[in-house]
Each structure stands twice: as structure tokens, then as C-alpha cells.
Chains A and B, each alone.
Chain A
Amino acid sequence: MRWLLLKDLQILRRSPLIVALLIAYPVILGVLIGFALSGDGSQPRVAFLNQVPVDEGFQIGGDEEGIDRGLAREELCSRVECIDVSTREEAEQMVEDGDVIAALILPEDLLDQLESLASLNPQQPIVEVLVNEDDPVKADLVDDRIQALITEANLILSQRISDEAASYLDLLIEGGSFELPLVGAFDVLGLRSSGEILNAVRADLPPGSEARPALDQVIRFADLAEENLDFALPLLGAIAEPISVEKTVVAGDGSELDSFAIAIAATVTLMFVTVLLVAGSLALEREENAYARITRGTVGVTGLLAEKLLLGVVASVAVTLLLLAALTPLVSIEWSRAPLIVLAIVAGGAAFAAFGAAIGASAREVRASSLLAFMVSLPIAFLSLIPSGTVSGGVFDLIEVGRALFPFDPAINAIEGALDEAGPAVGGALLHCLAIVAAYALIARVALRRFG
């Protein structure tokens, strides 16, 4: 078998284009993914035009920590990368050119409108969003991002306003000092102090005083008002944030996005390189008319199949380690887990190699096997990346069956688990890969019966 493996490597060495592709593909893929992961690409770019005057601030009631121009920018730009622009035309141009996904324009009178929310004549503040909907997917993304931003801004304002309302209520209950523009500072007695004063006055009244019933009514009102306004304070808090979220992970793992992305890159590389190489190499035995000559000797059909699987595993390990090496300067890879990583690559590579052997044995021609490998592998890879909850339950069940039958899912799980301790269980994924190897090797063995 080793002579056949050496022969395949010799043939590979004499195909400079294939060797160049085998080396360049993982390196280029690795560098591209590395840049994508190491950059700030996770936050979309939004042009930000702030027309609020520089020195203008806004306070609700007597709150000293008001909202000013800087805070508004800080809050709005916490989830997107804000690109400051100075004119509306500049913002429009950037959106049109696709330099940003949208432009957010804060009008000059935004703070006045916000301030009016706490007055008797509230006006709804309006911010303007410019978008470029040339791409429906991007349009959806922009809508979601902007909606999330506005919801967050509304939540912050609601909290501020309800905090302010709560402080008013507290002043009404407990009493204290209050300051209004133009009017100046003045004392507020408060319901509790009012009740105490009224009780003292009532005690000084003669028992048959005609003022007692009326005074009792006022005292009851003060008590009731104090008690009920006390209840109103937590209610205001609930209005400010009606729903709070408590997240519990009941399934899946908490692995890092980086590990998942690296696992995808490695698995896609494994898939293309191994499936195409093994399918093509097996089909080549027939095209060269060497298949019958080899298998009638000591090697046999099973020996030839084993050699092709070995070729696939050797190529998998070499190419995937090359990809991870190319990624290392750009993202963090735990090389202390190298033995597990190599084991996962071997298992994933063997699974893809068996899959490739089944394709090569079925197609019987190099071109047909390459075409079939692409046509079958790509949809499987896409299916394996569909997250749960994005399609109906029945469809997802079917997808799960498909994932279990093809090598992409167990390979990605094995590699992700090997890269990241918090990733999927490696043991189960390795066993799944072994089952895939056995199943597809059997299919290939049966298909080879009509190969000669």
C-alpha cells in the first residue's frame, strides 16, 4: 500500500497546478478569515451627523447628570462604528457609495424635544436615518441595527424620565427643597410631614369640634396618598424596563465565535481538498486503466481503498495545519491542544476521504467525480450551517438527519471541540466521524465492483 501512496504523491508532485492550489487555498482562506476575525468588522459602519449645538445640554427636572451632545453620541455609537460627518450631503454620499450601511442624523432641536417629554407639552423627538436599499439582505440588517439602536436610546430615556418622576414622587411623599427655572428654590412640605402636622392639629382640637370630621378626611387622604404613591415607585421602575432578560443556555456550547469561524474554515478546506483529491485520485486509477492491473495483484480492492483513505488523511493533516499556521499570527489558537487538534483533523479528514472515495467510485471519471464532489459537498456544507430556529421544526429535523449522514457536521464539531475547551464534545464527534468513514467506505467498496 505504501508504494501506491508514494506513487500518488509522486503524481501529485508532477501536477504543479494542483500542488499550488493545495498550498495556496488554505493559506489564502486562512489569511482572509484571520483578517475578518482580527479586524473590527463585527460592527457595521454608520455615518453620524450630530446637528445638536456643541454647548447645549438637556436636563429632566433637577437632575444634574443631564444628557448632552457627547453622551448622545456615546450612547448611539455603542453598537455601531460611527463615522462622524459634518454635512447632510456628506452623509448621503457615504450611504450612496456604500462606505457606510446607513447615516444617522440628530436634528438641531433634538434636546429641546427630549426636554419637552418632561413638560406639560411633550413633543416626540425624531432622528433621521438615510439608507441604501440596493441589497435586500443589507436593508434588513440596517433596519434591525437602527431599530435596536432606537430601542436602546428609548430605553435609556425612559429610565431617565421614570427616575426623574420617581424623584418627584419621593419629594411629594417625603418633602424637601425643589428648584424651578425663573421661580427659584422653594420647600415642599411632603405628604408624610403634612399628615404629622394634621394629626398634631387634630389632637389640639376639643373633642366636639366641628372641624374634626373634615380634618379626619384630609388626614385619611394624606395617609392614602402616601401609601399609594409608595407603591407607584416600583411601578415606575417596571414601566421604564417592562421586560428584563435572563438568559440560560440549555443546549449547545459556549465556544468563542473565533473558534467556530476557524473550525468552519478548516472544515471547508478539509472538505474541498480531501473530497476532490480522493475522488479524483480513485477515478484516475480507472482513467489510466491501471485499476484492474493493481487490484488483481496483492493490493486488492480493499487495499486500494485503504490507500486512498490514507492519501486523504495525509493531505488533510498537511493542508489543515498549513491553514491553522497561516491563521496563527492573526487569531489566537491554543497550540497546547495540538494533539487533540491533529486527532480531530485525522478523523474529519478520514470521513471526507471516505466520502470522496464513494464519489470517485460512483462517478468513475475524474471530471465527473470533481463535478459531483462540488455539487454534493456545497449544499451539505450550507445545510450544516443553518442554525436551529431559523426554519420550521419539520424542516430542521430533516436537516438534522442530513447532517448526521454527511461528514461536514461531525468534522466541524470535532475541530471546534479540539480548538476550544468550551466547544462541542470531541469524543462524540470523533465517533460520528468513524461511523461516517465505515459507511462511506462500504458504499465505495460496493461501487468499485463495477469499476473495472
Chain B
Amino acid sequence: MGELTANGRGDGETVISVAAISKAFGDRAALREVSFEAGSGELLAVIGPNGAGKTTLLSILAGILEPDSGSVSAPGDIGWVPQQAGLYRRLTVAENLRLFSRLAEVEEVEATVERMLEQTGLRERRDDQVGRLSGGNQQRVNIAIGLLSAPAVLLLDEPSTGLDPRQRERLWEFVLALAGSGTTVIYSTHHLLEAERYGDRLLVLADGEPIFDGSADQLHAAAPASEGRDFEAAFVRFLRERGH
């Protein structure tokens, strides 16, 4: 797992552009003037404390929530993978893929299903009901459904939650391969090591406000100095220095 690192992707053309989006739930501001861009094949990690607005941001990018102000511009499809697998447990893997392919109006349904079974390594489990799969395999199907329409941008909301280290390693192999093939991946995570290790760029949110946008090294540099190179400790010092 140690050799899986960000490889400096993200130098391609811009595939998604977010301009000053804000969202409030009642009196509580969930997002304030968030703006960023992401290029083709880039891995963008969205991190921040609980309630920072990570899921709200991804939901707006996915089109599930409407922002109060601001805009999202993405010429291609945006695939969305929710934190909890949005699957029908009584349907088989193939039936789930087929159903969501039809709902996504994919042209060649059966070919797409076969491709996703191949890509996720679940061909032999195709006729198993999803409810009987392990959490890791369910997450693979969950991600595969987000990829059915071959989106230019894939949104992953806390993709490794509930997975053991081995399942996480397989997941990131899969995600890095996607990014390697040109898919832009924007993911939120609580695992700071995953952000540091796999994110080409980190977007730090706190109380709905974007307080950092740059690489893990830049975040280290921006945090108050300390002994050693502990990313988690550096992140906490960074937040504390900015009053969060």
C-alpha cells in the first residue's frame, strides 16, 4: 500500500469549475463562497472537521442539492458515489448495475454491465445478491454504479468508511487506476493519511469556509512548525491557528 502515492496528475484541461457556491440550512451556513477548479485526471481531497460542509459540497456538485448562490460548471457527466452504498440489497450485482445503467440511459447496457463487472473484479459474484457481499465489495459496486455513464468527474463521499485496511488498499488501487485513465476524482475523507497519500490537491473546509487549497506539502509548510513530519498533527495545528 505504501507505494500507492499521488503522481502529480491534474495538469490536464479543467473539467469542473466551481464558482463561489454558498448554502445555508436555516440560519446555519453550511458552505460559504467555495470556489475551485479541477483538471482532467486530478485527485482532489476535500478534508475538514465534522460539519465542515464536505458532504454538502459533494451533494451540490452531484446535483442533489441546489446551492443558494454560485455555480458549478462541468461539460461532461458527473458520477456520484454516496457515503453509504446506494444499492438494492435484494438484487444481484448484475441486476443493480443493469438497473442503474437503464436509469442512466446508457446506450449499451449489457456491454456496460460486463465492463463494470470486469473493472471491479466482481464477475464471479455477478449473480450474488448485494446484501450478501462484504462491505468492500459493496463499495466496489457502489463506485461502479457511479462510473456507469463513464463520467469525466467522479465524486466519492467518504469512500473508505467502514472498510478494513486490505479493502481500503484495493479501493485506492481502483481509484488511482481511474484517475490514471483521465477521470477526475473528488473525494471527501476523514482519513488524513488518505488525503496526504492519494490527493494531488487538498481542499480544506472549516465551518463551510474554504481555508486551504494546495498540496499536502504546502499544507505542511503552512502549518506552524513542529518537530517531525506528522501530517495529522500539522493539520490540527493549521486549523487551530485559523481559529477552528
Contacts and interface: CB of A to CB of B under 8 A. Distances in A.
A15 interface: yes
Interface in A286-301: 288-299
A11 B88 contact: yes
Interface stretch (A2-10, A79-87, A358-366): A2-10
A9 B122 CA distance: 25
B150 interface: no
Nearest to A303: B103
Contact of B82 (A10, A14, A289): A289
Nearest to A8: B88
A293 B80 contact: yes
A3 B99 contact: yes
Given A288-B88, A292-B64, A299 B82 contact: no
Interface string A422-452: 0000000000000000000000000000001
A292 B103 CA distance: 13
Interface size class of A (residues with CB under 8 A): 20 to 34
Interface in A1-33: 3-4, 7, 10-11, 14-15
A357 B90 CA distance: 21
B18 interface: no
Contacts of B100: 293
Nearest to B103: A297
A298 B106 CA distance: 11
A214 B145 CA distance: 124
A292 B90 CA distance: 18
Contact of B102 (A3, A15, A288, A291): A3
Nearest to B95: A10
A452 B64 contact: yes
B87 A290 contact: yes
A293 B59 CA distance: 11
A14 B62 CA distance: 32
Given A3-B102, A289-B84, A296 B95 contact: no
Contacts of A290: 86-88
A288 B82 contact: no
Task: Name, among A295, A296, A299, the residue most crowded by chain B CB atoms within 10 Å (CB to CB).
Answer: A296
A289 B86 contact: yes
B220 to A, nearest CB: 36
B103 A288 contact: no
Contacts of B86: 288-293
A298 B129 CA distance: 25
Nearest to A288: B88
B88 A296 contact: no
Interface string A130-144: 000000000000000
Interface string B70-97: 0000000000101011111111000100
Interface in A263-294: 288-294
B64 A288 contact: no
Nearest to A12: B90
Contacts of B85: 289
A4 B91 CA distance: 12
B98 to A, nearest CB: 9
Nearest to A298: B105
Contacts of A296: 62-64, 80
Task: Name, among A4, A11, A14, A288, the residue most crowded by chain B CB atoms within 10 Å (CB to CB).
Answer: A288
Nearest to B78: A296
A297 B104 contact: yes
Contacts of B104: 297-298
B84 A294 contact: no
B56 to A, nearest CB: 12
B103 A298 contact: yes
Contact of A288 (B63, B87, B105, B129): B87
> 8 closest A-B pairs (Cβ-Cβ)?
A293-B86, A289-B86, A3-B102, A289-B84, A290-B86, A14-B90, A11-B90, A297-B103
Given A7-B95, A15-B90, 7 more contacts: A7-B88, A11-B88, A288-B89, A289-B85, A290-B86, A290-B88, A298-B105
10 contacts: A3-B99, A4-B99, A4-B103, A10-B95, A289-B82, A290-B88, A292-B64, A292-B86, A293-B86, A298-B103
Interface of A: 3-4, 7, 10-11, 14-15, 288-299, 452
Interface of B: 59, 62-64, 80, 82, 84-91, 95, 99-100, 102-105, 129, 145
